[in-house]
Structure 1
Amino acid sequence: MARRRTRICFPFSGEALGGSHISAHGLLQNIDRDRFDPMVIVQEPDGEIARLMRSADVPVRHAGFLPPLRHGERAGLRDAIGIAKASRACTEMIRAMGADIVHTNDGRSHAIWAAPAKCAGARLVWHHRSSPDARGLRLVAPRIADAIISVSTFALGDVDTRNVPTQVIHSPFDTDVQADRRARRAALLGELGCAPDTQFLGFFGVMIVRKRPFHFIEAIARLRDLDPGRPVCGLLFGTPLEIGSDELMAHAKRLGVTDAIRLMGYRAPGADWIAGCDLLLVPAKDEPFGRTLIESMLVGTPVVATRSGGNVEALRGGRLGPLVPLDDPAAMARAALGLLADKAEWHRLADAARLHALDHFGARRHAAAVMNVYDELVPPFAVAAGPAKVHALA
């Protein structure tokens, strides 16, 4: 009797590429294909998410009937009606794929695919990557999920999971990443036409309220006030989503720092551009477990972050980078200035953070932990079975 691989379905909703997709891609690259048969469902067959998942060599199917849920907004009555209308088709797709487990990875995917997964007879892994007050985590996951994975202790909060196996598994990262810091800095200097002694402070992430790019601009302004002669430039890397580029530059103009702010757009791989920066500033509030903090550690760029959310966990309470109060751009500016002016401390933190990241955040380690969850839900079994009837899009 041939052992059939456990079939795992990864459904994604929406078009915008984010950290949850990059983490899922890391898992797909490291999942044991002798034991597991991963498949992906996307909403946009030619979008960035589909292209990323295809690069992991998995079958990708298109679910064009999904409701257009909006990023960062709670579902309303109209959304609920759209989800209900799509539910039957989602259930039939999961059943046709022969999925043993459905692994949802973000709020919109939970909302659309969790109930159909159960209706199709699959086990549901609810991967929580947002704030601890998310309604889905608190009200739905404990009642419907077969397992909950959280990216941090903070993100899990105090939700009652007594009846659901729950684990904190930090997101995966490519710990083999190599970045030529000197070359990346030279690339920034050349592109921006800055003076050779310019110090670059980076913000990385989609432009949404929670990540607080306005506060980053305010920190740059306060730093200029504290040390007017220091040549600094604040670089915002990321896609405008909830906050537009015009709004950001208008804020910089109000603070008198348009000459010290550059909008860089989305660039990949992000680690290369982080390596070109002297510091990473993370002003986010209630960030579950930011990817850029760990990527920054791996390429040797020290981090200054708010004492909020998963930042505290990632930076080990401040041992791997300064943590500053929320809503205090001056405190962030002072911490940044302290590191820029003290190269010995800059190097000490960079080295300590890199060693910690190498030891704790490898993609293979993450995949092994997730695969253990799968095995607990669907123990390996020996049955005669053919391959799933799934057709990848060209």
Structure 2
Amino acid sequence: MIDRVVFPFRGAELGGSHIAAFTLGEALQAQGGVVCVIVCPANTLIEREAQRLGFQTVASGEAPTGSNSVVTDMLWASRRRDVLNRASNDARDVVVHCSDINTLRSWGLAAKLAALKVVYHHHALNRLVWPPHLVSLAYADAVVGVSDATVRKVRGWRSDAVKELNPFLLDLSIDRGKARSDLLEEYGWSPDSRVVGWVGNFWKRKRPLFFLEVAAELYRRDGRYRFVMFGRDGDHSRKELTGLAQQLGLAGTVALPGFRQPAELNIACLDLLLAPAPQEPFGRTLVEAILLGTPVAATSGAGHSEILAAWGGGELLDPAATPLQMAGVCERILQDSGRVTLPAPARRAIAEQLEPQQHAARMMDIYANATRRDSKPANATAQTEGGYR
């Protein structure tokens, strides 16, 4: 029986993998008998959110970082081992759950020094060719991918990798009409506005600049369009995006309110979610939009294609499409959004598939296999490739 799951993190800001880990952690603790501990840099948003959710936290004693050093990973291994031992608190069966390859590099060796089992949850599409990354895969007693695309990326090195979709816990009772009217009132926009939104941090790979180019084309076609971009600074800042919006003739039509919670409200208030990232490992925001009944226009590839092929809820366009072409897809969807959105019973059925308690039960099986010395981590209860149950 697993007593404790330790989730180490290295950065400062929240992202999809953190939300997935926290959702899993809450479900594990709700089942009883499992304590989840978050190890992270002190005084960060990750630490504050973990504490808000009631998790035990242990300060890693390190500054937030997004990069690795082979030398640092080796020199700090014993110190990190001691941190994991504090987080374990003498529990008998402990699993260290790493949610990205750099965290596995940093904390996997420390976990092995502490004689703890490691589960690696692959959330990325990066090519696993860098030798330190490949070495770190050997630390994992089980490997899980969040989509067919992520599993394929890692299976060349770990044939035992299995797929397990991230869990979702959303308030499906949210009144989209009220959420929309609240947004319009906040920004003084007319009730007949057509609200197109972005939800995600402003990383180059997600293409926020492309979003604004599409926005400019939509606004040229119809002055009722308004745009809202929920997210934090990444490669691009809110200040930079505000300046670009002005250059594109969108002054007064684009709102950048930052990151807000609950995430459901950010999506429920939209007439359309535009997700132009061409290579999302899974696409958490797309799933949330589908569940809430917000239509989606997205760039095809990897997770986006898997999600819409499995469930519907929107339209895809080739990554090479121009802003003009994407604007055309947006307009077509908005002319008859009921054509792409799913009826309430279908959305509830998908929500049940992604229910955190079911996800937690499957992960407990994976953890249990990982703790057996003679186990092979493949797990019959995990979701098989192509299977969206």
State the match for 1:37 in structure 2. Answer: 35
| Contact 2:171-2:264 within 8 A present in 1 as well | no
After alignment, is 352-361 or 165-174 more displaced? 352-361
| Contact 2:109-2:136 within 8 A present in 1 as well | no
| Contact 2:155-2:161 within 8 A present in 1 as well | no
- Please list the CA deviations of residues 169-220 of structure 1 after superposition, one character each: whole Å capped at 9, or x if unmatched: 1111114442111111111111110111001111001111111111111111
Q: Choose from 329, 350, 363 the match for 1:357.
A: 350
Match for 1:243: what amino acid? H
Q: Choose from 80, 96, 99 the match for 1:102.
A: 96
2:126 is aligned with 1:129: no
Q: Distance in 1 between matches of 2:44 and 2:324?
A: 40
2:80 is aligned with 1:86: no
- Displacement of 1:157 in angstroms is 2.6
Match for 1:278: what amino acid? D
State the match for 1:385 in structure 2. Answer: none
- Displacement of 1:260 in angstroms is 2.5
Match for 2:65: what amino acid? L
| Contact 2:218-2:327 within 8 A present in 1 as well | yes
State the match for 2:377 in structure 1. Answer: none
Q: Distance in 1 between matches of 2:342 and 2:40?
A: 40
Q: Distance in 2 between matches of 1:343 and 1:7?
A: 45
- Displacement of 1:280 in angstroms is 0.6
Q: List aligned pairs for 1:263-274, cutoff 5 A.
A: 263-274=256-267
After alignment, is 355-364 or 301-310 more displaced? 355-364
Distance 1:290 1:170, change over 3 A: same
| Contact 1:67-1:86 within 8 A present in 2 as well | no
State the match for 1:284 in structure 2. Answer: 277
Q: List aligned pairs for 1:264-343, cutoff 5 A.
A: 264-316=257-309, 319-328=312-321, 329-343=323-337
| Contact 2:41-2:64 within 8 A present in 1 as well | no
> Which consecutive unaligned segments of at least 5 residues does structure 1 have?
381-394
State the match for 1:204 in structure 2. Answer: 199
Q: List aligned pairs for 1:250-265, cutoff 5 A.
A: 250-265=243-258
> Which consecutive unaligned segments of at least 5 residues does structure 2 have?
374-389
- Please list the CA deviations of residues 79-114 of structure 1 after superposition, one character each: whole Å capped at 9, or x if unmatched: 333333322100122234246211111244223111
Q: Distance in 2 between matches of 1:214 and 1:288?
A: 20
State the match for 2:65 in structure 1. Answer: 69
Distance 1:163 1:327, change over 3 A: closer
State the match for 2:164 in structure 1. Answer: 169
- Displacement of 1:166 in angstroms is 1.6
Q: Give TM-score, length-normalised by structure 2.
A: 0.86
- Displacement of 1:63 in angstroms is 1.5
Match for 2:336: what amino acid? D
| Contact 1:146-1:165 within 8 A present in 2 as well | no
Q: Distance in 2 between matches of 1:156 and 1:292?
A: 20
3-state SS in 2 of match to 1:332: helix
Q: Distance in 2 between matches of 1:257 and 1:175?
A: 32
3-state SS in 2 of match to 1:27: helix
3-state SS in 1 of match to 2:256: strand
Match for 1:92: what amino acid? D
Instruction: Provide the identity percentage.
Output: 30
| Contact 2:202-2:234 within 8 A present in 1 as well | yes
Q: Give TM-score, length-normalised by structure 1.
A: 0.85
Q: Choose from 28, 50, 71 the match for 2:47.
A: 50
Distance 1:176 1:237, change over 3 A: closer
Higher relative contact order (CA 8 A, sep 6+): 1
Q: Distance in 2 between matches of 1:337 and 1:21?
A: 34
Q: Distance in 2 between matches of 1:84 and 1:68?
A: 18
Match for 2:262: what amino acid? P
- Displacement of 1:238 in angstroms is 0.4
Q: Distance in 2 between matches of 1:81 and 1:67?
A: 16
3-state SS in 2 of match to 1:218: helix
- Please list the CA deviations of residues 272-301 of structure 1 after superposition, one character each: whole Å capped at 9, or x if unmatched: 121111011100121111211111122211
Q: CA RMSD in A?
A: 2.5
State the match for 2:190 in structure 1. Answer: 195
Match for 2:13: what amino acid? A
Distance 1:345 1:5, change over 3 A: closer
Distance 1:339 1:367, change over 3 A: same
2:12 is aligned with 1:22: no
